[in-house]
């Protein structure tokens, strides 16, 4: 896919469905604490500072060292070990994989509420890998991947599939693993075994993101820095809306994936001119793609007044919160945009919402804004901090 101009984005998506409520147990002891107590060697506990818990309970899997108050356990955990993550009262909120060197000292893998609903994966990385990779495969199959027209797609998308640091791209019967976390390297054999168990895959190739792994404390001086490939989303037969489309990156990929019609909306005339050039550059049908110069809010309000909806809605606004000083005002803009986007996505359709504002995502405010909007709009959602197409 060629483009005149491209940009980097940070994406988060929301998935709307009914979540089963956590089971209530008569014991005050948490599920994870009970299971950890039964482990022969015990499980170390990473205790968070006061006021730092909610961000991770809301779904951020990256526990940074500045959020940690103390570590309980002798001997201390080693890189790649399973640890409990607990609040200031030492009550577990989840479990994850420890790193003694990285600025992210724990990558959360499962929350306490999830372990209570289904303890089969609790503190069991092998079982969790099987479950998450199978779920990722089922999600792609639901999107028609692989298909008669393509056998190239991203099977595992790191935090998008709740396996932080692990990316798997599939090219026919070859799976290419991009490793960017120490735990991925330590548990390489388990990961390869899980991927190899998928019927369509006969070969697994391992690639390491060298610079990132150096920060993870890995000795990778003898390896080359390799970058994973990406694949466009498949949108066959769908009606797609690309809000804040810029030069049309998502729109072009939707067209390439077989979308029935695509509408791109942006306020920048130069960007839209480039987007139209990109249609010709990529030999796409101009009858299926239209780019409109209009304010995102006004366009979506107009669509609502006409009762118009789309199968897939992509919302990728520019950086609305360049610094923490404007977080409050920016959260209002994100809230309004996402509320409108939710309302014009048809039932059973897909919404992908993005933020390139680090201040919003790193503070957890982006997710909280979306959660609040869902409640106000009467939507129930099953949230995973994913980067993927998700159901509305």
Pair 251, 245: CB distance under 8 Å: yes
pLDDT of residue 54 exceeding 70, the answer is: yes
- Strands 104-111 vs 62-64: parallel, antiparallel or unpaired: antiparallel
Higher pLDDT, residue 14 or 299: 299
d(CA 322, CA 330): 9
| Angle value at C-alpha 360, between 355 and 362, nearest 5 degrees | 105
- Dihedral in degrees, nearest 10, Cα atoms 97, 163, 371, 69: 10
Predicted local distance difference test score (pLDDT) of residue 17: 36
d(CA 321, CA 392): 26
pLDDT tier at 320, thresholds 50, 70, 90: confident
Predicted local distance difference test score (pLDDT) of residue 22: 47
Structure tokens at 142: 């639901």
pLDDT of residue 221 exceeding 70, the answer is: no
pTM, full prediction: 0.54
Predicted local distance difference test score (pLDDT) of residue 331: 74
* Least confident interval from 104-113, 303-312, 372-381: 372-381
Predicted local distance difference test score (pLDDT) of residue 121: 95
What count of Cα atoms within 13 Å lies in the side-chain half-sphere of residue 82?
A: 20
pLDDT tens readout for residues 240-264? 999 999 999 999 999 988 899 999 9
Predicted local distance difference test score (pLDDT) of residue 374: 62
pLDDT tens readout for residues 79-118? 999 999 999 999 999 999 999 999 999 999 999 999 999 9
Higher pLDDT, residue 344 or 319: 344
The arithmetic mean of pLDDT across residues 185-189, rounded, is: 93
pLDDT tier at 226, thresholds 50, 70, 90: very low
Residue among 301, 299, 314, 303 at smallest CA distance from 246: 314
The arithmetic mean of pLDDT across residues 265-272, rounded, is: 95
pLDDT of residue 360 exceeding 50, the answer is: yes
Predicted local distance difference test score (pLDDT) of residue 1: 53
d(CA 35, CA 350): 37
pLDDT of residue 132 exceeding 70, the answer is: yes
Predicted local distance difference test score (pLDDT) of residue 174: 95
* Least confident interval from 75-89, 255-269, 320-334: 320-334
């Amino acid at each position: 896919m060629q483009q005149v101009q491209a940009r980097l984005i940070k994406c988060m998506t929301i998935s709307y469905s009914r979540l089963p409520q956590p089971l209530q147990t008569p014991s005050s002891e948490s599920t994870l604490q009970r299971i950890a107590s039964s482990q022969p060697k015990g499980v170390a506990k990473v205790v968070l500072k006061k006021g730092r818990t909610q961000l991770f309970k809301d779904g951020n899997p990256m526990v940074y060292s500045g959020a940690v108050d103390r570590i309980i356990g002798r001997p201390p955990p080693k890189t790649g070990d399973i640890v409990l993550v607990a609040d200031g009262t030492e009550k577990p909120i989840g479990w994850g994989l420890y790193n003694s060197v990285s600025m992210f000292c724990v990558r959360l893998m499962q929350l306490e509420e999830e372990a209570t609903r289904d303890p089969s994966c609790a503190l069991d990385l092998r079982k969790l890998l099987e479950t998450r990779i199978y779920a990722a495969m089922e999600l792609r199959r639901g999107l028609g991947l692989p298909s008669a027209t393509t056998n190239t797609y991203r099977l595992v998308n790191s935090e998008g599939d709740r396996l932080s640091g692990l990316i798997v791209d599939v090219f026919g019967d070859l799976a290419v693993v991009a490793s960017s976390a120490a735990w991925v390297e330590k548990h390489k054999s388990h990961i390869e075994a899980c991927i190899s168990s998928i019927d369509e895959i006969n070969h697994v190739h391992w690639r390491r993101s060298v610079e990132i792994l150096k920060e993870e404390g890995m000795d990778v001086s003898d390896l080359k820095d390799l970058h994973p490939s990406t694949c466009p989303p498949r949108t066959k037969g769908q009606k797609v809306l690309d809000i804040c489309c810029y030069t049309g990156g998502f729109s072009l990929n939707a067209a390439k994936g077989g979308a029935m019609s695509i509408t791109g909306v942006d306020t920048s005339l130069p960007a839209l001119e480039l987007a139209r050039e990109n249609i010709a550059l990529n030999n796409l049908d101009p009858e299926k793609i239209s780019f409109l110069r209009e304010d995102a809010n006004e366009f979506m309000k107009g669509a609502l007044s006409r009762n118009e909806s789309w199968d897939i809605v992509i919302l990728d606004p520019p950086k609305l919160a360049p610094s923490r000083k404007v977080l409050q005002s920016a959260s209002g803009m994100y809230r309004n945009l996402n509320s409108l986007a939710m309302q014009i996505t048809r039932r059973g359709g897909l919404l992908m919402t993005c933020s390139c504002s680090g201040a919003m995502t790193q503070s957890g405010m982006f997710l909280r804004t979306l959660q609040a909007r869902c409640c106000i709009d009467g939507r129930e959602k099953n949230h995973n901090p994913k980067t993927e197409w998700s159901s509305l």
